[in-house]
Structure 1
Amino acid sequence: MCIARNKRDEPFGGINIIVAGDFAQLPPITSGDVLYAGSVTSAPHSANSVHSQKAAAGKALWHQFTTVVILKQNMRQKSQTANDGKLRKCLANMSYGACPDADIKLLNSRIVGRANGRPNLSDPRFHHVSIITSWNAHRDKINEVRSVQFAEEAGKSLQELYSNDKWEADVKESRKKKRGQAHEVNPKRINNEINPFLKETLWSLPHSCSQNHPGVLKLCIGPPVMIKRNLATECCVTNGAEGRVVGWKSKPLDDSGKMQLETVFVELTCPPKPTQLERLPANVVPISQVAVATKCMMPNGKVLTINRDQVPLVPNFAMTDYNSQGKTRPDNVVDLHNCRNHHSV
């Protein structure tokens, strides 16, 4: 903003800024301290690292916001039954980690069990509801098991569709080619092909070990999926958007008979606005493969960066607490046992 307006001595180049968000959400995913942490100073000093100086400048900017508007009307839960009121009060108290005994009693009454009045997880209303859990490993396992179960119940077979993996240098070289620059193959390798044994290992990794850019997608018609990239915000194709598979196009990956996805057609579930694309049913959008420099956590703990060409989807029989934030859902199944703090709950 400062560069665009040529006003480098004014915050945001002199433009008035409004920020919005929920301070009761989970803390940001970051390797360092967040700007509002007490360990971050608001006075930059030349003796500090560049990162510390930028953080200090960021905190000083954050302190420029002096007008705060707190919205108190609940726009997601508008019904007014006695239980609805209890839940709203419980959620508000939970934001501060200060639930009284009445709130704890309400939560305990909703734990799955066989006693009278307890919810039953086998109830049809919960059958295809995505389970919220805190751990990516738990999410991946639930998705794996439920994908097989869904296919068996529907009388369909799961088709394994593989990513096209190459060494990450391909991305850099392609950029050089576009710019007309000279390019070289990594001198340590004859080419950028990954050997078959390593490919199989990369494909076998859980989705959480490859930045949720899957090596293998097991698909049939009908299962719920979640989009993991912002691809077309104007069509509601955004990171975290939910839907179900209604079809796909694939092509041979190599001579082994493995198939690679080109496009998956997804019917969006409750999109923010209706979407109608030419020659497609209402709310059905095509999700095409994208090449992403993907960091893969190997079984031995080593991290390999590869260029992975795959459709950015994951099964959605389970999602993490981070992914669940900001969603409106009539039914919620939550693994409370593994929640890390009251924000997660």
Structure 2
Amino acid sequence: MVGKFIWHQVNVVVILKKNMRQQATGTEEKAFHTALENMRYAACTTKDLRFLRSKIVHTDSDLLLKDANFRNVSIITAQNKYKDMFNVIGSKRFAADHGLDLHDFYSVDELLSAPEPGAKKRKYRRKTSSKLMMTEPLQRQIWNITPSSTAHVAGKLSLCLGMPVMICHNDATELCITKGQEGLVAGWDSSTGPYGQNILETLYVQLINPPKNVKFEGLADNIVPIPKSKEKIYCMYKDDHQIRIEREQV
């Protein structure tokens, strides 16, 4: 009955069919659009595969990844732990290239007890007894766990003005604040945390080529605010030991 009740709340169903991220109109771009759409349905043709294989960079290729055109492009990795390292190295490199200082912003974490096996979730009431005491040494230890081991919610964000970023959640599709939307760091509001660390209150992102122009009062065109939020996650140590926390972070 609960499932039926939830289903009856749905009044609009959207099926995404058109690639909205790559919209250039050149010959190669059109072939890329077609290949991406076919990949979604596991229906790539021989022509698609031939085109995709033509983009593989070999050691004897004239195409060098150190070329300026590849300096700040997005990188898709096989495993999230590789992406974490790319982000660390890339942020340091970007700041050095532009003569800027990186600013580190930390999460605020609350330690939670793990739910008992088979226990039912009760969202209407928050049990204060589920919270444990967080200590500063433990908090600093948790900050050092990579995002791939903390449900992709980073304990530390290292930012500078103009740095390329990508929005990770569909916070407001009507305002172009959608997963995968690229942008540049335009500014931030911050405060001081319980251990003297910098905390992001709001990150301001200038959208790059959004589907439509966006205007927030008091902000320039296509600059959107990304506020901090809370999320309950598990953090996994290298020895596979897990702890449960509520993390507040942008």
TM-score (norm 2): 0.78
Secondary structure of the corresponding residue to residue 279 of structure 1 = coil
Instruction: Structure 1 unaligned segments of length 5 or more: list them.
Output: 5-11, 23-70, 178-182, 312-345
In the TM superposition, 1:1-345 aligns within 5 A as 3=5, 20-21=15-16, 76=23, 78-80=25-27, 95-96=42-43, 99=46, 104=50, 107-108=53-54, 110-111=56-57, 113=59, 115=61, 118-168=62-112, 176=125, 184-186=128-130, 192-254=132-194, 256-311=195-250
The C-alpha deviation readout for 1:125-147, integer Å capped at 9, x for no partner, is 22111112221111111111111
Q: Unmatched 5+ residue regions in structure 2?
A: 114-120
Q: What is the DSSP-based 3-state SS (H/G/I as helix, E as strand, rest coil) of the residue aligned with 1:301?
A: coil
Amino acid at match of 1:307: E
Equivalent residue, structure 2, for 1:56: none
SS at match of 2:157: strand
Q: Residues of 1 paired with 2:134 and 2:229: CA distance?
A: 19
**Percent identical:** 31
Q: How many residues align?
A: 235
Q: Which residue of 1 aligns with 2:117?
A: none
Q: Distance in 2 between matches of 1:216 and 1:202?
A: 10
Tell me if structure 2 keeps the 8 A contact 1:262–1:289: yes
| Counterpart residue type for residue 208 of structure 2 | T
> Alignment partner of 2:109: what SS?
strand
Q: Distance in 2 between matches of 1:308 and 1:106?
A: 40
Runs of 4+ in 1 over 3 A off after TM superposition: 1-4, 15-19, 75-78, 83-100, 102-106, 112-115, 172-177
Instruction: State the Cα RMSD in Å.
Output: 3.5
1 CA distance for matches of 2:219 and 2:16?
35
- Look up the equivalent residue of 1:126 and give its one-letter code: F
Q: CA deviation at 1:122?
A: 2.1
Secondary structure at the residue paired with 2:76?
strand
Inter-CA distance 192–88: structure 2 relative to 1 (3 Å threshold): closer
Letter in 1 for 2:82: H
Cα deviation digits, residues 281-332 of structure 1 (max 9, x gap): 1110111110111121222202222100000xxxxxxxxxxxxxxxxxxxxx
1:90/1:99 contact within 8 Å kept: no
User: How far 1:210 moved relative to its partner?
Assistant: 0.9
Q: Return the alpha-carbon distance in structure 2 between the equivalents of residues 141 and 237 of structure 1.
A: 25
Give the Cα–Cα distance (whole angstroms) in 2 for the partners of residues 88 and 234 of structure 1. 23
Structure with bigger gyration radius: 1
- The higher relative CO (CA closer than 8 Å, separation ≥ 6) is in 1
TM-score normalised per structure 1: 0.58
